Amino acid sequence: MTSLLPYNTFGFDISAQTLLPIHSEEHIQSLVQSGLFKNDHFILGGGSNVLFTSDYPGTVLLNQIAGKEIKVISDEIGIISFGSGEQWHECVLYSIEHGYSGIENLSLIPGSIGAAPIQNIGAYGVELKDVFHSLQAINLHTGALKTFHADECEFGYRDSIFKREEKGNYFITKVQLRLSKKFQPNISYGNIKEQLSLNGIDKPTAREVSNAVIQIRQTKLPDPRKIGNGGSFFKNPIITEQQFKSLKEEYSEIPSYPAPDGIKIPAGWLIEQTGWKGFKKGTVGVHQNQALVLVHFGGGKGIEIKNLSKEIQQSVFNKYHIHLEPEVNIVGIQ
């Protein structure tokens, strides 16, 4: 058994039967031929969006595929290819350093770039699908290398085909992003404009927008190196316009945002309104500054976070008739 304590940001000291670092496509293909993927296995990137509720009885594959390559398409457009084991935030900084923009609003999101398309990560008015070009992935049944373009990924809100029909069928090895040399700031969402104003900036560069996002996230979200957490634990729910209208009549202050399939309600607000913000029970709790983040104070077990999340879900449903769906991938005892 190998401890996964260094590889999950919740900081739970759980173990896997085997931990296997992966550095290349060829390594994955050789493992397919060996029959490894017929047994229990789990692909782990940055460990920031996963909650282990028990020891893992199979093989955990630690994605460490590296690489960065820029393909210039035109004076204004470039496609940057990243190895899937690269850390997302480092990819953001690399893009900015080379004069490319489009993902600066996604600064400081933890995890690997290989996990980004699975989750269709997003923040401050930008989603991965907005800049996604393609990815390469190895079929874990056949060993064949396949390219997926945007339409084939079926991106949705924090969702993709890799969380549904193709879950567990592919190992993503490379991700290509289509980025721009012509910077067009997107600062209308959240507190970016306010933070830029505090920084004395009215015509920001991509780096300055990135810095503002970093400042906001550091203020609102706890550092996993100091307190265990997996970032936002729940998705922001999307409800029908009719349901929102009914809720608005009873709770006039309820915040909302338009969404393609209805109305998006901030999950953090729902959790805070049901009294959970700052809650602590034993070794786990809800962050005092951001109710969307469940935290581990140390010495606990992942099942405690899972149980707390269920209590929060029930509480929110009882009051608002809205079901909160976990954004974090829960692995182990259910």
- In the annotation, is 3 catalytic? no
Residue whose token pair is 């769906």: 325
CA Rg value for the chain: 20
Catalytic residue among 104, 127, 208, 327: 327
**Alpha helix locations (H) across the chain?**
25-34, 88-97, 116-119, 150-153, 192-198, 206-220, 241-250, 267-273, 302-320
CA distance 173 to 236: 29
Both tokens of residue 69?
Answer: 């390559």
Verify whether residue 327 is a known catalytic residue.
Answer: yes
Known active-site residue 178: no
* Chain-centroid distance, C-alpha 224: 14
Catalytic residue among 158, 160, 208, 217: 158
End-to-end Cα, the chain, rounded Å: 21
Which of 25, 232, 304, 309 is flagged as catalytic?
Answer: 232
Helix or strand run (H / E) with residue 62: strand 56-63
Residues catalogued as catalytic: 158, 232, 327
